[in-house]
Chain A
Amino acid sequence: DVKVTQSSRYLVKRTGEKVFLECVQDMDHENMFWYRQDPGLGLRLIYFSYDVKMKEKGDIPEGYSVSREKKERFSLILESASTNQTSMYLCASSPGTLGGTQYFGPGTRLLVL
């Protein structure tokens, strides 16, 4: 079974703090993704990576950065957290060649006060 894990299920941070969200997958997938999910807006892609040290902006990259130093690990960084970044953050991974199925981690619910 594909397993995608995220470092925290719940996180509370203060405005202006630097926040790290980490995602690890154990299936040697080439592609990894970070989404945020908000009521009524669905899943929105923040960044994705198709290889180590490679990254591409998604639909809403502003205020975020990412790091992929190892194939299995993809980190999302909020440089200076703001209240409008309160959301559910979902990480996903997919193999490079087979159809595009994405497998999701359990999610991190972030509250920025």
Chain B
Amino acid sequence: QKEVEQNSGPLSVPEGAIASLNCTYSDRGSQSFFWYRQYSGKSPELIMFIYSNGDKEDGRFTAQLNKASQYVSLLIRDSQPSDSATYLCAGKTGTASKLTFGTGTRLQVTL
């Protein structure tokens, strides 16, 4: 049973718009969440992580965590064509350093 779920997309947004990427998780013990960006043919690179309820902002990116609803999201403001990639959500449970990854959402930013 997959513990982290993402819509595979593609999610298409026009340049300059806000892209909203969503992720749900089933393990209530999950403590922290990570968003990675992966360009085609490349390896995942960390965008940001969040472990407290609420919002966390870093430049054009905002991560949101709602533990009651078991929901994590990533907002990308002023979307650029260079943001076109697959975005992976991952959750960490317990003291182990293992992450459980979703299958990713493909984002397309159109001109």
Contact = CB atoms under 8 A, between A and B. Distances in A.
Nearest to A90: B43
Interface in A76-113: 90, 94, 96, 99-107
Given A31-B97, A40-B103, A99 B45 contact: no
Interface in B46-91: 46, 49, 51, 88, 90
Interface residues of B, number: 21
A48 B98 contact: yes
Interface residues of A, number: 23
Interface of B: 8, 32, 34, 42-46, 49, 51, 88, 90, 92, 96-99, 101-104
Interface of A: 30-31, 33, 40-43, 45, 48, 50, 58, 90, 94, 96, 99-107
